[in-house]
């Protein structure tokens, strides 16, 4: 299939009847794939007969097309003249206002060693990320109450620090599902790291390798599971896999076999996202970028920008177009919507030997059901406030579990994620019984701003803060962190001055 | 009575002795009607001998004059020259600052399909509404504490979402008083939709018809009950009627007969508004508009605007002039101020076969009395925060009813309205026992900004949010929404970032 | 003593040895009075040998000098030339920045009939008051926490409104100590009304006469007790007297006899202000005015203003100079610092037949002691937040009294003041057991902005709001206001948007 | 050792092999001292072969070098020409932006007698302090939640003021560990007063002498213990010593002997700071000053300032460099990290006859342990919010101790510090059982802004506020302050308008 094609030839295949696209100068016939595309056909049809590289690259693993398209649909390569034309067009393309802003922000960012806190890392990242990436990474559901409450929950727990204890030697390490971790934290799964940095999730993999932390890799990472596995510093570096179970059991089982073969060490089954939450900031991002550009064009033409369209408003369609449901919607359309404790856990056990953790438990009752179902761990999480608005903060669920069903902690490992920014946040969760604490956005922002060095810096910050906090609490190992060292206050605390 | 009149002839009848007005080029003798006008005679006398169309139209149903004025007082039409003169005067009239602002805002508003949330719809509407309409629609009583608490109450209830439940198929439909509704929401009665859009309440009627929702129509709608009924997509489309009971039982009975004949399906008796609340924003609106115009005139004359009047302040009159009590005051002056459970409910039962709901129950005791009085339903409501300041949020009353008298839910249907903006708000109320939830301003704003299309868009938004919320809660029908799925928190939650 | 004096002759008496002052063109020898002056001698010495009219007038009753100075010290009048010179000097004096601001604000203020709420009245008054008067009227103690909490306390009480009650006829009148009042409110005592309006307290007296309210007159009013009594519309108009008991029992007894003779109807003994609170806003006002003027002078000279003095800082004196303790300090220096329940109440009973009320009770224990001491009433008050910072809001004390010692309400009348702005505030206090509610600043601001008409307008506003609130609560007389109609909430309410 | 050296000769000794520095024109060989320097060698090496006076002076007692360096390393003095060169260089050095700001602020500060409150003193000081000093003094740990909660805790306690009590004569004095104090407050230990004022801690010593207060002097004061002792107004003036116990018992014992000889009267052992907290504001200060200067230089060169460095980010080092851990880190590196109740208290008793107080108790359990260990007092403190973030406010710990273990108050004296700004704060703590209350920053700020006069002014302010508060509470001696006079509120109070 090494035929070459001219731009002109490709351009004729621009309909649902025959739909070709160019990606990195390769030509593909995606006509038959259109109805199968998880994100709907209309996204692809925007690029029918044209170059789709810029849209495709940051959100797909490189092997996505190869896996999904039969070899005979790989039609060949673009001819030299076509490639040259695309390259020039790309070079001459006027930069968007947002691209210019990002370039300037990149020049001004401080050296990574001067980043003193996770919050500061987040601030820098939000300045250097594209508007679209910033919106996708930072968005919560609806009005972002749960997003904000996740973090605020930590401020309701104060310490009871103990003094006059020997603290010269402190060991913050622990195990997670039996795997060594230098700190009682792990990288919680997040998607689309390439939106923030060209090397994507591999930055995190290598950063974790250097600092002896464990990364959880999403089914919808922008690198494939094998690329991430290949980025490990050694085959012994543990990796966890965050599974979005495909509606088709066979495809899901195949994926489990693949990640086992690749050497992943545990499966975190996502249970809080059978469908995507209402992430308005993400959905609105393209509208706002459009408005930015329209404004620039209007200025260039010397006229005032007007958003509205005069005349009668059109009647809205039945429901929102699936294409417009935000970045994550396409992925979740193919997820299993009918999982149950009774059916899905045994199925998983049959299809993998890896430890199984349920990611996204949001109340005590389900924590108890999980223990009864015999899983190895649960991650108390509301998906970083991106799914159900007014889902309770995971730390509150942890606290209720401690109050109401302390026996659950003896049956499985309990983790939390959501809103963690400080070493003290980690220590509070551990005092209440968490085995380890996940950080998702912190590492995503870090790799966006500084690549692998950012990931290492976040690890260093957490290490410094955790060790310091242990010393000032009067403990020297994580096993000494116990409920008596924290107290839930009955007043309304001050807010951290700049938390998201 | 097809005589024609010149402007000059009409202009002579400009006193309480003989008071004529022109409305849409028709001439009426309203002298004898002056003392009967619910809003007082002085409002009419401002237009004595003159054209009153602009003031009359947005707040009266077209048939109001016909109903209230005997045929012999319909004096005929304005002559061609007079009509021409009025038309020109109207065209040449300098636009007010506020009219210019509205025109510009209309041009800039986004396409209706891009409105993602009820809050956004409200924001757009508040930009395109006239100052006067915005003030009337948005006003609460006094300092608008109750207005704001109605919405904030929802933020004190968090979910206990359940995972690993089959949620591929979700049905959000329900019945209200036995009538099918595609969603567990209805349009709560509001007045004066024509202030916001020339087609007024009919926008809502048609929008509800398209989306299988039920509209409650106010006695003081700006369209007549028959006009609204005529706007239905089919005679089977259900409609509820919000009754402000006239002080005169006979007139009230006549109205009940009329709406029954027109095919209305239930009577919601307003019990929280025997008199109008202290709606300062509404009362103050004309003063502020005046100040705007004075400022413009002063600028035009090149002098600084000064509001004050020098010299000794005049002594205030005894109480506030009834004309100045805000937009709703005239309507409520003729309302029955002496209704009781013992007398009024049986009277209603005798005068209508329709189901009876009390709209405006504000405490558990009265909910119990309503159940004992045998009504079919109660709407927990404080009139959208427009009546008694520091009336409790309806959601809190619902919660107390659930805690203290769960038996009431078995005796009648319980609804709430006030402060609802999100699908999650609806779901919380349903978990606590509400059969359905009313939205008033949301639909009023929607029809103001986009007419019928806006109404449909709000319905679509609510549908999307309710279905999504049900999925993420792990339920597939409204009957599964139960108290265990919500929890009243004991901390102070974050506020939605832009709720009114 | 009708000699006339030249300015030159007077100017020689400018020392502690011989100190003369001119007040309204009269010449007084105050040498022997210097050590007796409650505000300290240094305030007087600033004007030794000079005209003191402008400083004297707004804070002293006209008869103060006559009462305190023997006839032979009334030396006579200023000669014509001297009077002329003073008049010219006064006319030519450059207006201060603050005086210019006030003049402009007076021109811009709205007509009194457009003032819709007490808050709005307060806003207007704060714009038209001199900086000094605004500071004195508005100041609270320390950081003004108690000042602000007094008002916020009302927001923690919500109503349980009852519907379907006959409310066509509502009577808001009551009695206070047996005296008729058209509303369940009274004017709480405040000082120095002349700072805000040249007619001072008489504005309030006449406004109360017109609206059938009762005024409490302070020992330190800027009109004398007899002037206020003379301002009544009829001798039957009731007046209460707020007594600051003089340290000298004989002088205090003489005052009691005087006010009894003048026809006052009750004595409110101030018990919360034996010394003045730390009213920083008031103390700081002269410094800030000085800075304003210095800035203007510096601008005139074309140099930058600098506040500081270079060189070594001087060592502070022992404590604050009594002259600098704020406007109220001089008055309170002569107040009895050793009053007790055991001694002072019987003394009062012996020296007056009038009903006795303790003004400034701040906890349940003292309310009980007051009942045991047999007084006729207590006013729960913290002096408008001007005395002890972190004194509890009076409404909270009322609530505790209702919860802990309901029997006290049967033994005496209980009033509250502090933070009342709305009719609903009054109704809440009455529901909890208060017989009536005092408003101090509201009337002080009203007379400052509009004189008597302002006082009447505030009365009208309160009447409208109280009657409306009663209707919407479902009650028709104050005796129906009962604890079951209010509920203390357990969440943090919204704040009124612009309360002080 | 009186040889003289040229700048050139000194400049050759600029390596770890041979490291000389000039301090106040004296030349020292510090080569062998490098590894012993608590702050690490790299700080010294920045000045190797050069003048280090400006960096050395504000943070070391003058005798520090003499104590730590053997006589033979005192090499002699700089020659005349060298001294002249240094002087000129110093004079010609361009002032930094921050130095210019400080000079202007010094000119504008108000006379000390016009400072009305501790808050105002703090505001003035923060304007006249260098950026670096302001950062070091004001910083709290992490996000400064604990810093801010320390102060806010006081706002949750309201008074129950008692009226009709004789209060003409009030005595606010007390004893602390048996030593007379004019007020129930003391100066809590703080470091580095010379950063704020050239006379440093001696300002506080003399101010305390004048006002009969007791100063606690830190091991890490910028004056030596002997210099502070020498600054006393008389040998009878009591002084407390805040001990940071050296890791080397022998050195710690020697220090105890020294301070006993110098006449110190008690030892406050620091137990909450074995290592330095994460004081980000302090750590970040040099970065921000750098940025200020870079900006100025860039402006001078006419180019835009850019902070970032292009190219690949460097990988962060293992942990933060100890030099960069903030101002306090060097001192704490040599502190004993292995103290215990069992070992350290008896050791202290053996090595000193002075009363022993534990400074930094943060929970009830440790207060009980302290009582069992037989110390003379405990200072409930979290080091002014500079150590463990989310350590509870000391006032809350005091309240819990009162509720849970009132017996502890009978066994030792209990003090609190942290967040105290007002006389009412002091009174609340005393009501709850504190014997006295410490103020640290208040006096540090006062001496920074006005030297000794500032210290006296803060004492006067506290005296006035404490006496006034006692009067308005109805008490005349500190022994009457009792738990019944305060009440913990159950609502969220207003915040002081400008507290830090």
Digit-coded pLDDT (tens) for C330-375: 666 789 999 999 999 999 999 999 999 999 999 999 999 999 999 9
CA distance A17 to A31: 7
A362–B163 CB contact, under 8 Å: yes
DSSP helix/strand/coil, C400: helix
Cβ within 8 Å, pair C472-B340? no
Give the mutation candidate from D139, D151, D322, D389 for the A interface (greatest A CB count, under 10 A). D389
Distance from CA of C180 to the nearest CA of B (A): 19
CB contact under 8 A, C388 and D494: no
Taking chain D, what is the end-to-end CA distance rounded to the nearest angstrom? 51
Whole-number pLDDT of residue B304 = 53
User: How many Å apart are CA A183 and CA A469, to the nearest integer?
Assistant: 13
Angle, alpha carbons B81-B87-B93 (nearest 5°): 130
Q: Chain C 78-107, CB below 8 Å of chain B: which residues?
A: 106-107
Q: What ipTM was predicted for this assembly?
A: 0.90
Q: Given CA atoms A45, A51, A56, A62 in this order, what sign does their dihedral have?
A: positive
End-to-end alpha carbon distance in chain C: 51
Q: Which residues of B262-292 are buried (b: 16+ CB within 10 A; e: fewer)?
A: bebbbbbbbbbbbbbbbbbbbbbbeeebeeb
- Tell me the mean pLDDT in the region D464-481: 98
List b or e across D126-163, with b for residues whose CB sees 16 or more CB atoms inside 10 angstroms: bbbbbbbbbbbbbbbbbbbbbbbbbbbbbbbbbbbbbb
CA nearest to D456 within chain C:
C316
Neighbours of A302 (CB within 10 A): 6
Cβ(A466)–Cβ(A423) under 8 Å? Answer: yes
Fold designation for B4-90: Flavocytochrome B2; Chain A, domain 1 (3.10.120)
Q: Which of D116, D155, D166 sits opposite C338 (nearest CB)?
A: D166
pLDDT at res. A479: 97
Which residue numbers in chain B have pLDDT < 50? Answer: 305, 308-309, 319-323, 498-500
Q: Distance (Å, rounded) from C-alpha C82 to C-alpha C88?
A: 10
pTM, full prediction: 0.91
| H or E stretch at A356 | strand A356-361
Cβ proximity of B121 and B446 under 8 Å: yes
According to the model, what pLDDT value does residue B308 have? 47
The Cα-based distances of C69 to A109, C26, C29, C252 in angstroms read 77, 13, 9, 18
Handedness of CA B244, B245, B248, B249 (dihedral sign): positive
- Residue A9's nearest CA partner among A84, A63, A82 is A82
Return the active site residues of A. 244, 272, 383
pLDDT(D500) > 60: no
Interface of B with A in 321-380 (CB under 8 A): none
How sure is the predictor about A290, in pLDDT bands with cuts at 50, 70 and 90?
Answer: confident
pLDDT score recorded for residue D319? 44
pLDDT attached to residue B317: 59
Measured distance CA(C5)–CA(A171) in Å, rounded: 93
pLDDT digit string, tens, across residues A214-239: 999 999 999 999 999 999 999 999 99
Are A135 and A401 in contact by the 8 Å Cβ rule? The answer is no
Check residue C109 and give left, alpha or beta (phi > 0: left; psi -120 to 50: alpha): beta
**Quick check: helix, strand or coil at residue D88?**
helix
Are C310 and D107 in contact by the 8 Å Cβ rule? The answer is: yes
* Average pLDDT rounded to a whole number, residues D49-58: 85
Whole-number Å distance between alpha carbons of C203 and C447: 6
pLDDT of amino acid C323: 44
Q: Which helix H or strand E contains A360, and what residues bound it?
A: strand A356-361
- Cβ within 8 Å, pair D363-A468: no
- C115 is written with which tokens? 């003032």
pLDDT tens digits, D169-197: 999 999 999 999 999 999 999 888 999 99
Confidence of residue D46 (pLDDT cuts 50, 70, 90): confident
CA angle B292, B295, B300 (to 5 degrees): 130
Coil/strand/helix, residue B273? coil
Least confident of A112-116, D200-204, D316-320: D316-320
Contact of B380 with B391, CB cutoff 8 Å = no
Contact between D492 and C152 (Cβ < 8 Å): no
Contact map slice: D 397-436 vs C, CB within 8 A: 422, 424, 428
Q: Do B388 and C117 touch (CB under 8 A)?
A: no
In whole angstroms, what is the distance from residue C242 CA to residue C417 CA?
Answer: 14
Q: In what order do the strands lie in the sheet with D4-5?
A: D4-5, D74-78, D26-29, D20-23, D50-51
Q: What's the whole-number mean pLDDT along residues C450-461?
A: 97
| C498/chain B closest Cα distance in angstroms | 8
Q: Which residues of C touch D160 (CB under 8 A)?
A: 362-363, 365, 392
D366 vs A contacts (CB less than 8 Å): 162-164
Are the C-beta atoms of A76 and A27 separated by less than 8 Å? Answer: yes
Q: In this prediction, what percent of chain A has a pLDDT beyond 70?
A: 93
pLDDT value, residue C319: 44
- Say which range, D235-239, D298-302, D420-424, has the weakest mean pLDDT: D298-302
pLDDT on residue B285: 86
CATH topology assigned to domain C118-276+329-488: TIM Barrel (3.20.20)
Nearest Cα neighbor of B221 from B193, B254, B181 is B193
Q: Which of D162, D460, D499 sits opposite C366 (nearest CB)?
A: D162
**Highest averaged pLDDT of the listed ranges A66-80, A88-102, D414-428:** D414-428
B475 Rama sector, left if φ>0, alpha if ψ -120 to 50, beta otherwise: beta
Segment (H or E) for A415: strand A413-417
What does the radius of gyration of chain A's CA atoms come to, in whole angstroms?
24
pLDDT reported for residue D346: 98
Residue with tokens 């000081």: D125
Q: Name the pLDDT band for D34 (thresholds 50, 70, 90).
A: confident
Query: Tell me, which fold does domain A4-92 have in CATH?
Result: Flavocytochrome B2; Chain A, domain 1 (3.10.120)
Tokens of A356: 């199984």
Which contiguous run of DSSP H or E holds residue B227? helix B225-230
User: Residue A497 pLDDT > 60, yes or no?
Assistant: no
Least confident range from B120-129, C120-129, D240-249, D304-313: namely D304-313
From C481, C469, C465, select the one nearest C402 (Cα to Cα). C481
Choice among B272, B366, B417, B425 that is catalytic: B272
pLDDT digits (tens, 9 = 90+) for D72-102: 888 889 999 988 998 898 888 888 899 999 9
Contact A240, A202 (CB under 8 A): no
Does the annotation mark C272 as catalytic?
yes
Q: Using pLDDT thresholds of 50, 70 and 90, give the confidence band for residue A321.
A: very low
| Identity of the residue in D317, D369, D391 whose CB atom sits nearest the CB atom of A161 | D391
D289-297 long-range CB contacts below 8 Å, 24 or more apart? D289/D96, D289/D98, D289/D131, D289/D132, D292/D96, D292/D97, D292/D98, D292/D131, D293/D96, D293/D97, D296/D97
Three-state helix/strand/coil letters over B355-403:
CEEEEEECCHHHHHHHHHHCCCEEEECCCCCCCCCCCCCHHHHHHHHHH
Q: What DSSP assignment string belongs to A434-450? A: -SEEEESHHHHHHHHHH
* D112 vs C contacts (CB less than 8 Å): 313-314, 316
Nearest Cα of chain D lies from the Cα of A253 at a distance, in angstroms, of: 39
Q: Are A106 and A128 in contact (CB under 8 A)?
A: yes
Distance between CA atoms of residues A361 and B298, nearest Å = 65
pLDDT digits (tens, 9 = 90+) for C9-66: 999 999 889 999 998 888 999 888 888 776 678 778 888 899 888 888 877 877 777 7
Q: B452 to chain A: which residues are within 8 Å by CB?
A: 315
What residue ranges of chain C are covered by domains with CATH 3.10.120.10?
4-92
Question: Average pLDDT of C123-137?
Answer: 95
Q: Give the residue, D305 or A270, on which the prediction is more confident.
A: A270
Contact assignment for C316 to D460 by CB distance below 8 Å: yes
**End-to-end CA, chain A:** 51
B126-130, C291-295, D306-310, D494-498: which is most confident? B126-130
Helix (H, G, I), strand (E, B) or coil at A267: strand
Kindly identify which residue of chain C lies nearest to residue D104, measuring between CA atoms: C306
Q: Identify which of B164, B463, B493 has the shortest CB distance to residue A344.
A: B164
Q: How distant is the alpha carbon of residue C8 from its chain centre?
A: 39
Tens of pLDDT, residues A407-430: 999 999 999 999 999 999 999 999
Whether D156 and chain A come into contact, CB under 8 Å, resolves to yes
What is residue A352's predicted lDDT score, i.e. its pLDDT?
97
What is the number of alpha carbons within 13 Å of residue A498 lying toward its C-beta? 11
The residue written with tokens 């008793």 in the block is D349
For chain B, report the end-to-end CA distance as a whole number of angstroms. Answer: 51
Q: Where in chain A is the domain with CATH 3.20.20.70?
A: 118-276+329-488
Annotated catalytic residue, options C244, C264, C399, C450: C244
The strand pair at A20-23 and A50-51 is best described as parallel
Cα–chain center distance at B78: 34
The shortest C-alpha distance from B421 to chain C (Å) reads 18
Position B303 scores a pLDDT of: 57
Alpha carbon C7 to its chain's center: 36
Across the interface, of B145, B275, B277, the residue whose CB is closest to C494 is B145
The rounded mean pLDDT for chain D is 90
| B160 interfacial to chain A (CB closer than 8 Å) | yes
Measure A304 CA to nearest chain B CA, in Å.
10
The residues, any chain, with a CB within 8 Å of residue A312's CB and separated by 6 or more, are: B451, B453
pLDDT for residue C320: 41
pLDDT at residue number A330: 66
Phi/psi-derived region of residue D134, left when phi > 0, alpha when psi is between -120 and 50, beta in every other case: alpha
DSSP state of B9: H
Interface test with A, best of B491, B493, B496 (most A CBs within 10 A): B491
CA A109 to CA D309: how far, in whole Å? 8
Best mutation target, B248, B333, B388, to test chain C (most C CBs within 10 A): B388
Q: Is C123 a catalytic residue?
A: no
- Whether pLDDT at C500 is above 50: no
Closest CA to C367 of C335, C333, C405, C323: C405
Work out the number of other CB atoms within 10 angstroms of the CB of residue C428: 30
Contact B160 A365 (CB under 8 A): yes
Among A427, A465, A472, A488, most D C-beta atoms within 10 A, so best to mutate, is A472
Residue C308: pLDDT band (50, 70, 90) is: very low
At residue A91, the pLDDT reads: 85
The closest alpha carbon to D136, from D344, D357, D386, D311, belongs to D386
In the set B220, B244, B399, B445, the catalytic residue is: B244
> Is the model's pLDDT at D39 over the cut of 50?
yes
C158 strand-pairing partners: C487
Whether the CB-CB separation of B320 and C113 falls below 8 Å is answered with: no
């Amino acid at each position: 299939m090494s035929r070459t094609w001219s731009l002109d030839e490709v351009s004729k295949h621009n309909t649902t009847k025959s739909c070709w696209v160019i990606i990195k100068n390769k030509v593909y016939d995606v006509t038959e794939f259109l109805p199968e595309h998880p994100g709907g056909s209309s996204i692809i049809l925007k690029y029918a007969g044209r170059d789709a590289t810029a849209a495709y690259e940051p959100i797909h693993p490189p092997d996505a097309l190869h896996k999904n398209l039969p070899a005979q649909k790989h039609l060949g390569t673009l001819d030299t003249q076509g490639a040259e034309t695309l390259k020039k067009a790309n070079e001459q393309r006027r930069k968007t206002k947002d691209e210019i802003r990002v370039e300037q922000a990149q020049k001004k960012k401080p050296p990574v060693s001067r980043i003193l806190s996770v919050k500061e890392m987040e601030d820098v990242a939000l300045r250097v990320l594209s508007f679209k990436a910033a919106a996708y990474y930072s968005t919560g559901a609806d009005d972002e109450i749960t997003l904000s409450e996740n973090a605020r929950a930590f401020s309701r727990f104060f310490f009871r620090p103990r003094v006059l204890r020997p603290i010269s030697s402190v060991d913050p390490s622990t195990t997670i599902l039996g795997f060594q971790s230098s700190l009682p934290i792990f990288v919680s799964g997040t998607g689309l790291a390439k939106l923030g940095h060209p090397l994507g999730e591999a930055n995190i993999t290598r950063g974790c390798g250097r600092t002896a932390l464990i990364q959880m890799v999403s089914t919808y990472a922008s690198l494939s599971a094998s690329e991430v596995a290949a980025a490990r510093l050694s085959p012994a570096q543990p990796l966890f896999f965050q599974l979005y179970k495909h509606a088709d059991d066979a495809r899901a089982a195949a994926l489990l076999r693949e990640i086992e073969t690749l050497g992943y060490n545990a499966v975190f089954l996502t249970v809080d996202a059978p469908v995507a939450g209402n992430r308005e900031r993400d959905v609105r991002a393209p509208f706002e970028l459009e408005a930015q550009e329209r404004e620039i064009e209007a200025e260039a033409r010397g006229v005032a920008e007007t958003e509205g369209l005069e005349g009668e408003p059109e009647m809205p369609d039945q429901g929102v177009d699936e294409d417009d449901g935000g970045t994550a919607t396409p992925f979740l359309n193919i997820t299993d919507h009918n999982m149950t404790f009774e059916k899905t856990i045994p199925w998983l056990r049959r299809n993998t030997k890896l430890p199984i953790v349920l990611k996204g438990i949001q109340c005590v009752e389900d924590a108890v059901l999980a223990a009864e179902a015999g899983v190895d761990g649960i991650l108390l999480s509301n998906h970083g406030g991106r799914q159900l608005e007014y889902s309770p903060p995971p730390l509150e669920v942890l606290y209720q579990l401690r109050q109401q069903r302390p026996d659950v902690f003896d049956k499985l490992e309990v983790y939390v994620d959501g809103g963690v920014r400080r070493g003290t946040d980690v220590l509070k969760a551990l005092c209440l019984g968490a085995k380890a604490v996940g950080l998702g956005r912190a590492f995503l922002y870090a790799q966006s701003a500084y690549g692998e060095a950012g990931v290492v810096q976040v690890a260093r910050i957490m290490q410094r803060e955790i060790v310091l906090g242990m010393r000032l609490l009067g403990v020297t190992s994580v096993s000494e962190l116990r409920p008596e060292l924290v107290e839930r206050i009955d007043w309304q605390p001050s807010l951290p001055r700049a938390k998201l």
